[in-house]
Structure 1
Amino acid sequence: MYKIAVFIPEEALELVKSAMFQAGAGKIGDYDCCSWQVKGQGQFRPLAGSNPYLGQTDQVETVEEYRVEMVCADQYVSNVIQAMKQAHPYEEPAYDVWQLADLYTLRE
């Protein structure tokens, strides 16, 4: 099992989440479309050669974004990341992927 966190501008929030859910993320037991999100402020500076969704080359930009987290079973991780990148408006979406410990194997 993995946890995926991605930063998404508000106008693309539901589109990106839906793409990730459809690809297999966000399933916990008998529930699906499970996620956690919080609104915050992201910062970046587009460099020469970039094609930014927002901002100007060589100027620091700030933008309201949501940090969205959801779990994902091993067999869906690659497809979920691919779906997220296709649905996301950013040229280089910021995201993290963590492998989670299997707590059942950690019992005494």
Structure 2
Amino acid sequence: MIVIVCFAPLSHADAVRAALADGGAGRIGEYSACSFSAVGEGRFRPGDTADPFIGEKGQLTVVDEVRIEAVCTRDRARAAVRAMLAAHPYEEPAWHAYEALDLDSL
């Protein structure tokens, strides 16, 4: 399994979660649209050529964001990340993905 992690503003968290699920993430056994979310602060300073969704060029910006995590099979991970990126309002969303071990791999 691949764990996909992204950070979204509170205003778009539901849309990003739905996009991940539509892309194939969040399936665990007989359950779908599974994810975990935690609220925190995102910080960034848009550069001179940026087109920020939130904040002003050159100004440090602090935004209430949600860390969203969902698992995905490797064969669906690329589609799930692409769907998340398409739904995300940020020009350059922060995200990462990593492989998770299952019980048999421990």
Alignment TM-score > 0.5, same fold: yes
Structure 1 runs of 4+ aligned residues shifted over 3 Å read none
Q: Residue in 2 aligned with 1:78?
A: 78
TM-score (norm 2): 0.95
Q: Which amino acid aligns with 1:7?
A: F
- Does residue 1:21 correspond to 2:21, yes or no? yes
Q: Residue in 1 aligned with 2:10?
A: 10
Q: Which amino acid aligns with 1:88?
A: H
Q: Percent identity?
A: 39
Residues of 1 paired with 2:62 and 2:68: CA distance?
A: 18
- Does residue 1:104 correspond to 2:104, yes or no? yes
Q: Residue in 1 aligned with 2:37?
A: 37
Higher Rg: 1
Mark the runs of 5 or more structure 1 residues left unpaired by the alignment: none
Describe the superposition over 1:46-85 as per-residue Cα deviations: whole angstroms up to 9, x where unpaired: 0121100011111100000000111010111110111011
Q: Which amino acid aligns with 2:43?
A: Q
Mark the runs of 5 or more structure 2 residues left unpaired by the alignment: none
Deviation at 1:45, TM superposition (A): 0.4
When the two chains are superposed, the root-mean-square deviation of aligned CA atoms in Å is 0.9
- Across the two proteins, how many residue pairs are aligned to each other? 106
Q: Residue in 2 aligned with 1:51?
A: 51
